[in-house]
Structure 1
Amino acid sequence: MLNIWGVILYLRLTWITAQAGIGLTWVIILLSSFITGITGLSTSAIATNGKVKGGGTYFLISRSLGPELGGSIGLIFAFANAVAVAMHTVGFAETVRDLMSEHGAVMVDRTNDIRIIGIVTVTLLLGLSMAGMAWESKAQVLFFLVIMVSLADYIVGTIIPATPEKQAKGFFSYKADIFVENFVPRWQGPESSFFGMFSIFFPSATGILAGANISGDLKNPTEAIPKGTLTAIFWTTISYLVISATIGSCVVRDASGLLNDTLSLSPPVRLVLV
């Protein structure tokens, strides 16, 4: 679940909901999960068809397709993981940069601050990985708790009655008319389309091979890999559906941020990012 949840959840899911509407966003989420679910079933079939040793995804693929294809796919998979790490690190660095800017803290400038924070983050993660699986497993528990607290904090925030200042920025409590208005798409920009939103969201459904990659450290990988992979896909899909529904029920697309302006649900422009 840690490898499936990512920066897209926090920075782009609300924007995708604004563009595609709640209905099409659900279609995008379910379609992405269906695609990764097929991969998860394939992984489960390989993992349960014989003894699973160390080597993770490379071992599973090479055992089924041969070492030549396994090696080539494993090389592509390694580059894909590197790109994914870069994407998540940049998203994290941008968020930290924005939080620092809100409090007037600037190291160099907006662009170089992202680079500095990103380099420090990647270095810390590299050290954590080189320390071994024992430290990585402990860190994963901590990271999982942080994510769960953030999701709980988000849900509580949707329930708390909004102040006039928040309403001026487009944040309300649950309202049926907001849900109805945000259920349909409202494309903004020439690049906005169903497949454009799908391509942006799809990385949020990947990362399902994290369990298979630690096959050598699992006590019973034949049982753990299928259960863990498919369960992770299910619960992350539920979380995406819930977040898109709740944000679409509480936030209007058009808000000026001025208390004196009369808020209107029509015409909507974009969903305020949280």
Structure 2
Amino acid sequence: MFLRLFWIVGIMGIGQCIVMTFLCMFCTFLTCISLSAIATNGVIEAGGTYYMISRNLGPEFGTAVGILFYLGNACACAMYIVAAVEVFLLYIAPNITIGGQEVHDDTGLTGMMSNNYRVYGTIILLLIFIVVALGVRFVQFFAPISLICVLISILAIFAGIIEKSIISSNHRVCYLDNLLLHANAYASINITNDDLCSYCNFNNPKLIDIICHNSSSLDSCGNHTLTCEKAFPGIQSGVFLANLPSHYMKAGEVAPKQYISDKKLEIFQDVTTTFFVVMAIYFPSVTGIMTGANMSGDLKDPQKSIPQGTIAAQLTTSIIYILLILAFGSTIAGKWIFFFKFYF
């Protein structure tokens, strides 16, 4: 939700993104009502989802579902850890990246950035292990703290959207014709948003040298336009209509069905996108609805709390996702900026 939803909205468009969200909501809602039916069909003890399924459907189904549930949680944990490292190294503390900020794009199997994910991810995993090893009460102590952090983060998103609509944003992006350019290609790494537009012109020797000699997607040096535009124009800008249609792209493209990118200069799509590929990326964000059921042994009245809490959580998160889709689609520039996850 925090790292990929704005990119998903840009790729799928607001219309298809809402359709995809309703499909995911339908799947999770069916799971919620099935879980609620099982929870109200007898005495619920400790053991969570596995206990309920194995006692109601038999040990065969319980074992099969339990193995899948374990593997799913393991994959989800790995995904969350990698996402945490990405936020930390790209946005919060890029200076502590092993190898420097220059390796942020080196994300191959043996790339330096991939090794950063492994090193810092292992550290985070050890911290999680320590928290879990200290016992359920310690985990429960951190649960409300984590919930408060999530709520503050969601509120901060909406506050930022409102702020960008009221106060003009300093965030700018540079376009060569309709191609989004990477700021590090024509300006220093430590450049501020206020100074970016001063580099986005034909008086910048570094930019001109790249355009004329190194860019594989440009036929010549002339007849091109450089523009510096707002990345977050706000609700009043009318970008909602521009973000309604989908813009699926292939890996390496800088615009739908147009150019194969010069990776040194232009921001490019790093994966071929289709409706189901993007849906697969998005779907893990809606799969946390089992949390309440997994705490069945700690609930005072699980037969009542599990159905109410699970369905309420599913409906609440669904509404938040829809609101975020509409908010992102209404405020962020829809020309090309939505398509690229790693610009800022």
The TM-score range, normalised by the shorter chain, is 0.7 to 0.9
The 5 Å alignment of 1:167-178 reads: 168-175=229-236, 177-178=238-239
Give the greater-gyration-radius structure (CA): 2
**Alignment deviations for residues 221-240 of structure 1 (CA, whole Å, 9 cap, x no partner):** 00011011111111111111
Give the Cα separation in 1 of the matches to 2:130 and 2:87.
22
1:243 matched residue in structure 2: 324
CA 1:28–1:38: 2 relative to 1, 3 Å: same
**Alignment deviations for residues 70-103 of structure 1 (CA, whole Å, 9 cap, x no partner):** 122212211111111001111111111113554x
- Structure 1 residue aligned with 2:132, among 122, 129, 133? 129
* 8 Å contact kept, 2:9–2:338: no
Q: Is 1:12 the equivalent of 2:93?
A: no
Give the Cα separation in 2 of the matches to 1:153 and 1:76.
35
Look up the equivalent residue of 1:162 and give its one-letter code: S
* Residues paired across the two proteins, number: 252
1:162 matched residue in structure 2: 168
Q: Bigger relative contact order, structure 1 or 2, given CA contacts below 8 A and separation 6+?
A: 1
**Alignment deviations for residues 164-218 of structure 1 (CA, whole Å, 9 cap, x no partner):** 4447351122136201110121222273222222121111111211111111111
* 8 Å contact kept, 1:253–1:272: no
Look up the equivalent residue of 1:128 and give its one-letter code: V
Length-normalised TM-score, structure 1? 0.86
Following superposition, the deviation at residue 61 of structure 1 comes to 0.7
Give the Cα separation in 2 of the matches to 1:106 and 1:210.
33
The structure richer in helix per residue is: 1
2:98 matched residue in structure 1: 107
- Structure 1 residue aligned with 2:50, among 43, 47, 58? 58
The 5 Å alignment of 1:1-274 reads: 9-99=1-91, 102=94, 104-108=95-99, 109-160=112-163, 161-166=167-172, 168-175=229-236, 177-189=238-250, 191-254=272-335, 268=336, 270-271=338-339, 273=341
Give the Cα separation in 2 of the matches to 1:242 and 1:10.
13
Identity of aligned residues (%): 33
Secondary structure of the 1:85 match is helix
Give the Cα separation in 1 of the matches to 2:10 and 2:274.
12
Length-normalised TM-score, structure 2? 0.69
Structure 2 stretches of 5 or more lacking a match?
100-111, 174-228, 252-271
* 8 Å contact kept, 1:182–1:248: yes
Range with bigger deviation, 240-249 or 189-198 = 189-198
Structure 1 stretches of 5 or more lacking a match?
1-8, 255-267
Secondary structure of the 1:175 match is helix
Give the Cα separation in 2 of the matches to 1:246 and 1:71.
42
* 8 Å contact kept, 2:233–2:332: yes
Give the Cα separation in 2 of the matches to 1:228 and 1:13.
25
1:6 matched residue in structure 2: none
Report runs of 4+ in structure 1 exceeding 6 Å deviation.
Answer: none
Secondary structure of the 2:288 match is coil
Give the Cα separation in 2 of the matches to 1:240 and 1:72.
31
Secondary structure of the 1:11 match is coil
Range with bigger deviation, 81-90 or 176-185 = 176-185
* 8 Å contact kept, 1:40–1:208: yes
Secondary structure of the 2:247 match is coil
* 8 Å contact kept, 1:97–1:114: no
* 8 Å contact kept, 2:6–2:338: no
Secondary structure of the 2:238 match is helix
RMSD (Å) for aligned C-alpha atoms: 1.9
Secondary structure of the 2:158 match is helix
Give the Cα separation in 2 of the matches to 1:127 and 1:105.
24
Following superposition, the deviation at residue 272 of structure 1 comes to 5.9
Give the Cα separation in 2 of the matches to 1:97 and 1:164.
23
Look up the equivalent residue of 1:150 and give its one-letter code: S
Look up the equivalent residue of 2:169 and give its one-letter code: T
**Alignment deviations for residues 57-76 of structure 1 (CA, whole Å, 9 cap, x no partner):** 11111112111221222122
